[in-house]
A = this chain, B = another copy of it.
Amino acid sequence: MALQTPIEYDQASPVVRAVYDDIMATRKTDWVNNFWKVLAHHPETLQRIWSNVKQVMSNGTLDPLTKELIYVAVSITNNCGYCIASHTAGAKAKGMTDEQLGEVLAVIGLANETNRLAIGYGVPIDERYLPS
């Protein structure tokens, strides 16, 4: 259910186009996905979120595929359909195999189960897990 329809490049303001251009240049592609075209209804949010994504997802000591898998884990736990589709596609583009996808989903499922067992039983935190 779309509250807002995507804003295509031709309809976009110069501020929005500049973000679209930077997305395509950064990703080395000629395509912008709907997430950004919908955020374009509030240009400050479009600029702010793109700036955050570029900073958080691009550089660092974790490889890009691991970051995508964490994104998939959060998105499935939150039940965000769009995010599951886009970040699963992103992980495949970064080299995730079908076997790896199966393992990712198995870990996500099991973590959601043991989370509730720990919560339901009220397991006390072990001393050695506490900061010294």
Chain A interface residues toward B at CB < 8 A:
1-6, 31, 33-35, 38-39, 41-42, 44-45, 48-49, 52-53, 55-57, 60-62, 66-67, 69-86, 88-89, 97-126, 128-131
Question: Which residue of B45, B101, B112 is within 8 Å of A105 (Cβ)?
Answer: B45
Q: Interface of chain A, helix or strand or loop or mixed? A: helix
**In the complex, A78→B129 CA distance in Å?**
19
**In the complex, A1→B113 CA distance in Å?**
19
Residues on B with C-beta less than 8 A from A98 are: 41
**In the complex, A118→B105 CA distance in Å?**
10
A56 touches B117 (CB 8 A): no
Residues on B with C-beta less than 8 A from A62 are: 69, 100, 103-104, 107
**In the complex, A128→B100 CA distance in Å?**
21
Residues on B with C-beta less than 8 A from A84 are: 1, 3, 119-120, 122
**In the complex, A53→B109 CA distance in Å?**
11
Task: Decide: A85 near B125, CB < 8 A? Known: A79-B80, A97-B61, A105-B117.
Answer: yes
Least Cβ–Cβ distance between A103 and chain B, in angstroms: 5
Least Cβ–Cβ distance between A24 and chain B, in angstroms: 14
Question: Which residue of B82, B97, B119, B121 is within 8 Å of A4 (Cβ)?
Answer: B121
